[in-house]
Structure 1
Amino acid sequence: MIEKHRKFSVAPMIDWTDRHCRYLHRQLTRQALLFTEMITTGAVVHGDAHRHLRLNAEEGPVALQLGGSDPAELAQAVRIAQDYAYAEINLNVGCPSDRVQSGRFGACLMAEPDLVADCVRAMRDATDRPVTVKCRIGIDDQDTEESLDRFADAVVAAGVDALYVHARKAWLKGLSPKENRTIPPLDYDRVHRLRARLSPLPVIINGGLETLEAAEAEMAHMDGVMLGRAAYHTPMLLAEVDRRFFGATTEPVTLQAVMQAMADYADREAATEGTRINNIARHMLGLANGLPGARQFRQILSVDACKPGADSSVMHRALEAVSRPRLAEAS
């Protein structure tokens, strides 16, 4: 079942793909695989595990992404996560931030394929759910032909269930995490060759895909596609995913329906968890992109939602900001 959902996934993004964001994305696509933010093993094993691992039943299927490099601690984190309904467990071997490097996990682990293989084995021994890896095509001065094959062979031998590959190198010396998302050149062909070599192991491509048309073109070469920033900043594109990637015949959800669902969700969260409306609304800013009134829509959700006493009425007012111009045009 999870193999089907991997045809289209929304990338794990730190500070972005929290449970509120995932709830929003699930209103737009019922089939795509969603990811948590990267959660460190230390946060799970030594911190408030429930705060980091909790998810709504309506979010599924969701992949849990862990960051770590100690096989025993990764296994312990996976065992703790067994109490939550994650569809798969993913190991981050792609994040290039200095903080991640100092913790000896993320993209720097591409230089240690044997250690990553040990991590995968330990994680597999701790769960009956699929264990996957998200990586880059290489780091710094690595030869992406030789080093990526060596890395992939190591994790395949360890029993990895799928690979998600960001089609860029990560330059750990000289580029910021933000620059690493855009400056290293994309090399889709290298990922295509890897997928052909590893088949039938599922290989999913990530990096630089900004439209559903570009993502569909990659399906001729890959087992799945992963979008990150494009899906986050223009979330309504996800409303077309089920039809275009999964053969759904139902009509895509409307903006009005999404806003009502999120307002209802905000009411429940406020009543049961004391969640502030801005913690939910911040993920919704791009919903009206391209529509008349979109600027006011964003302003209401970003400014008014932060005011004392703000509630779900903010979302209804934001919707009115784009509905009024459209009604005027129709008349």
Structure 2
Amino acid sequence: LKLENKAKRKLQKQICQVVLDHFEKQYTRELGNTWTNVRDVLTYPLCWQYAVLLNKFSQSAELENTLPVKGYHPAFQGPLPYLPASLKCYVRRTPGRFPAQKHQAGKLKEYYLLNAASLLPVLALEVKDGEDVLDLCAAPGGKSVAILQCAYPGQFHCNEYDDLRSRWLKKTIESFIPDPLTNLIMVSKLDGTQIGDLKPELYDKILVDAPCSNDRSWLFSSDIQQATLRLIQRKELSFLQFQLLRSAIKALRPGGSLVYSTCTLSKAENSDVINLILNSCSNVMPVDISEMAKAVSQEFTFLSGTQQHELLVLPEKGRAWGPMYVAKLKKM
């Protein structure tokens, strides 16, 4: 108990009060009582969980046998509308992190550690072999890696505008994807808001995992000035997200579909952005993803009362996944 109290005190010190106060006001208003439970998880990293996504390009039978012994089980077991057998992700109910693997030149990693909710946008996108795919804001690369576990796209374009994050993306691809396949992946540093004009109607599927106010990491900002600035600039994010979506719609072929995701609870960056797109773009329609949500409801907690084309994963103890907002649209 002493140790736990010590850990608690240490964690309390690390929480950025400016951010917590801001979230407290906003999310109490938007989520009501639900926020209290979510806050308890987000502010207490000792209860956070990490999923293990296996890399099919570097399979290890030993690893697959070890995971169940350590209390892990497959994250996705329900009758999902889309679940390729090659996508293998393991989770466990208890907190803690599987040891990470270091990057080694010429050696592929066997697994990727991630928040299990990060795979929901990939499952919603339903990429099939031969389709042309764009991951518009691809760094650090976990979702790109997950897409390649699911299918072999015709062309796969991974874009990341930020220089540092783009290097991170390249390293991730290098660590998980074998050479012959990396040659088919185009990594670019284009401005995502311009891609629609540069590459009109070129893709069958687009993932817009948009820059957002990352609730989990913002709560632990060590630089108060930077945190304060972020909160001031937060309002501008929804406009950027809208521009990225509009650009993605231009880049999408008619009949193609798009998944938008963020890792924030903020309504302004989630359903408000999607509603704005639906109201301003006559050539897109919402796609029902409620069947997917229902199939994974054993493992994830969702905000109730959302539309059928969207979901919001709420972290709770024992299922500390998210926040993750996912919405799906189709171009007509």
Q: Which has the larger radius of gyration?
A: 1
- Per residue, is there more helix in 1 or in 2? 1
> TM-score, normalised on structure 2?
0.30
Structure ranking higher on relative contact order (CA contacts 8 Å, 6+ apart): 2
> TM-score, normalised on structure 1?
0.30
